[in-house]
Amino acid sequence: MSFSDLFAQANIAPNDLSWVEKTRLSIAEVLFSSEKIVLIDERLFGCDKEFIEKVLEKIKLEKSKGRSFILVAPEWDAVKSVADKAIPFKVTLK
């Protein structure tokens, strides 16, 4: 059963969630999916520190099982504990 199914049973629409709740839900869904390559963007770092730490621990576990992750982070230190390498780039929005 997916998180979306649980929300449907609880009669909660995903659109009723706050931005942080939507972010947490989407990250949780992808972490528990069977995708081999996962991209997690900088929205993760807008969540609370405890959630970020749990996500990084889950990534470590999943990497040991052969899954690959691409993490977009505001700074290297944020993902150093789970990153294989840094591919630095800067995006400037105008």
Nearest to 48 by CA among 7, 72, 20: 20
Enumerate the β-bridge partners of residue 39.
70
Tally of domains within the chain? 1
Does 87 map to a domain?
no
**Domain extent at residue 14:** 3-78
Does 12 map to a domain?
yes
Does 93 map to a domain?
no
pLDDT tens, residue by residue, 4-54: 666 666 667 767 788 888 888 888 888 888 889 998 988 898 889 999 999
**pTM (global) more than 0.75:** no
Produce one character per residue of 3-37: b if its CB has 16 or more CB atoms within 10 Å, e if not: eeeeeeeeeeeeeeeeeeeebbbbbeeebeeeeee
- pLDDT, average across residues 58-69: 92
Kind of pairing between the strands at 37-40 and 68-71: parallel
